[in-house]
Amino acid sequence: MGTITRMCLLVVCAATAQAGAAGAAEASEGRSKTLTGRYVVVHADGKLSGSVRYYLRAAERTYRLRFKRRPSIRPQARVQVAGVVEGASVSVDDIDVTATPAAPDTTGMETLLAIQVRWGSASRQSTKPGAEAFLFGSDQRSVDQWYRKASYGKLGWTGAVTEDIVIPDPHGCDLYGIVTSATGAARDSGYDVDAYDRVMINAPAGYCGSAGYGEVGGRFTWLFDGLSNLSDGYQRLVPAHELGHNLGRWHSHGLECGSETISHECLSRGSIDEYGNAYDVMGNNWPGDTAGGVAMFSAKPLIELGWFGGRALEVASSGSYRIAPLELAGAISPQALVIDAGSRRYYVELRRALGVDDFLTAYPEGTNGIQVNMRHDLLGADNGPLNLDFAPGSSTCSYCDFFDSSLDPGQTFDEVGGAFRMTVDAVSDDGATVSVELATSLPPRRRSRPALPASSRAAARPSASRRTRRPSRTTARSTTRPGARARPPVRTTPSPRELTRSRCAPGTPPATSTRRRPRTSSRSTPLPLW
């Protein structure tokens, strides 16, 4: 049993602690009770919206948890929850972690049972053989083949697809009601449901507004009218993305700082574009959607999934570094740089139109320079990387703004806390050369501003001194953009996906007429402490 982590979410901690001392109790309507079970985070992923649901999977029942503030608890932890129960919903006053979860299996052959259900007159397009080919087939676009390539051969999927199983009409988007009906019916049909590592339910569309749902680090995923057309990039994305949640991944975000790449003020606000990384399967994948492709994971997830081996190089001294394209298989090192800046860590990678990223031939914006993602402690349990946009404000559509986020040859990035300066010297199909100058007067960990606790995120306001900007000698360097870049093909169709924190209305096309790339890459950063 792990150490109990206590999170008092309201001022009624003392009262709920008393309730907690009473141990697990049977829930009753409208009264504060204590329940125990597994804490489950489910991402809802749709073309027009994304959201997160929180559940308590208790022994006899599943409850939807309502928080006033999202807790920083690892999904799948065993928890004790105190709150007001109304039906299958709990307004949480207090939640304690009683046991931390084991890390999900991310290597080897994972087994998957896809249960295909329908109800009433509702139906899906997928067939049993079609879904089998979609998930496990030899076609290079299948989910199994995609994961084999994206994981450098570390992970594959095998399993079974059921015939159509009729279940009672759920009369709504009751995810765990569907699980209960589907798994029960599958068992009745002879499937050993418990023998599979993961269970995917493919159901008719209609009740749930999202195309897919996935438990973070859990066992269940839900698709709605999926697994029917391998030529549809978005249909391919959904199961790969939801299984990515099962592997423990949250979304791959973009750091949204308006007209700036990064600033302390922006970090203190925790302002992110939920699916902002356009070139990560856990991001919006919009370029891939339209080109029939599914983008690879970026370097941070690849490292944490255990697939990257020695491919990442932690930068410990100033110098010139060469990185190979992220997609290359074989024993190649390095394929990413990791730079520690205390509460922030940076991940540097180069993407080419190779492997699962072959669709990038149509999107040179993803390959013109290097991609820089960072990690900041403010995200709490959310392990998603934050893509840095070195051409901020190039589109009025927030997630489209990240399509050209790369740091390009000749550009310099000054780390927001002055921990390092990085210049892209060259980019080719073989790799990128990057010069990194670490600050030498103080070690990075001492120089970096400490992260704010998650609980203070909403209240955090930048101090006057933190907003102060001084002219920097590096600013001029970073604003120089050598040569004019050939612009990629302009898309004229609206994005199929509205993101959680997108600033543009659903269906609003990227403001292509204003996609002139700003001159600065990091003009908002304070003066580095060289």
Which residues contribute to the site for Zn ion (CB under 5 A)?
Answer: 43, 45
* Nearer to Zn ion among residue 167 and residue 240 (C-beta): 240
**Shortest Å, Cβ 46 to Zn ion:** 9
CA dihedral 260, 265, 268, 270 (to 10 degrees): -30
* Nearer to Zn ion among residue 43 and residue 352 (C-beta): 43
* Nearer to Zn ion among residue 275 and residue 346 (C-beta): 275
* Nearer to Zn ion among residue 52 and residue 511 (C-beta): 52
Tell me the DSSP string of 277-314: -TTSTTS--HHHHHHT--PPP-HHHHHHTT--GGGEEE
**Shortest Å, Cβ 469 to Zn ion:** 36
**Shortest Å, Cβ 50 to Zn ion:** 6
Burial 344-380 (b: 16+ CB within 10 A, else e): bbbbbbbbbbbbbbbbbebbbbbbbbbbbbbbbbbbb
Q: How many Cα atoms are found within 13 Å in the side-chain-facing hemisphere of 229? A: 10
Per DSSP, what are the bridge partners of residue 156? 109
* Nearer to Zn ion among residue 51 and residue 318 (C-beta): 51
Burial 432-447 (b: 16+ CB within 10 A, else e): bbbebbbbeeeebeeb
**Shortest Å, Cβ 41 to Zn ion:** 10
**Shortest Å, Cβ 132 to Zn ion:** 24
* Nearer to Zn ion among residue 45 and residue 349 (C-beta): 45
* Nearer to Zn ion among residue 210 and residue 472 (C-beta): 210
CA-based nearest residue to 212, from 247, 263, 173? 173
> Would you say 103 and 81 are in contact if contact means Cβ atoms under 8 Å apart?
no
> Would you say 79 and 56 are in contact if contact means Cβ atoms under 8 Å apart?
yes
**Shortest Å, Cβ 243 to Zn ion:** 11
For 340, the token pair is 């520690």
* Helices and strands, counts by H and E, the chain: 11, 23
- CA–CA distance, 501 with 68 (Å, rounded to integer): 19
**Shortest Å, Cβ 378 to Zn ion:** 20
Angle 257-262-267 (CA atoms, 0-180°, nearest 5)? 75
- Which residue has its beta carbon closest to Zn ion? 43
**Shortest Å, Cβ 249 to Zn ion:** 8
**Strands 370-376 and 344-350, sheet pairing:** antiparallel
Strand, helix or coil for residue 86: strand
* Residue position matching structure tokens 């920097």: 472
* Nearer to Zn ion among residue 185 and residue 211 (C-beta): 211
**Shortest Å, Cβ 452 to Zn ion:** 26
Strands (E), 26-164: 31-45, 50-57, 62-66, 78-86, 89-99, 108-118, 155-161
* Nearer to Zn ion among residue 43 and residue 264 (C-beta): 43
- CA–CA distance, 358 with 336 (Å, rounded to integer): 19
**Shortest Å, Cβ 77 to Zn ion:** 20
CA dihedral 255, 257, 262, 264 (to 10 degrees): -110
**Shortest Å, Cβ 506 to Zn ion:** 18
* Nearer to Zn ion among residue 43 and residue 523 (C-beta): 43
**Shortest Å, Cβ 527 to Zn ion:** 38
Strand, helix or coil for residue 98: strand
* Nearer to Zn ion among residue 455 and residue 500 (C-beta): 500
* Residue position matching structure tokens 């930048």: 462
- CA–CA distance, 521 with 422 (Å, rounded to integer): 11
* Nearer to Zn ion among residue 284 and residue 406 (C-beta): 284
CA dist 108 → 111, 144, 294, 302, 413 (Å): 10, 12, 21, 15, 38
* Nearer to Zn ion among residue 210 and residue 405 (C-beta): 210
**Shortest Å, Cβ 52 to Zn ion:** 9
* Nearer to Zn ion among residue 213 and residue 359 (C-beta): 213
- Quickly list H helices, 472-528: 473-479
**Shortest Å, Cβ 384 to Zn ion:** 10
User: Cis omega before residue 488 (within 30°)?
Assistant: no
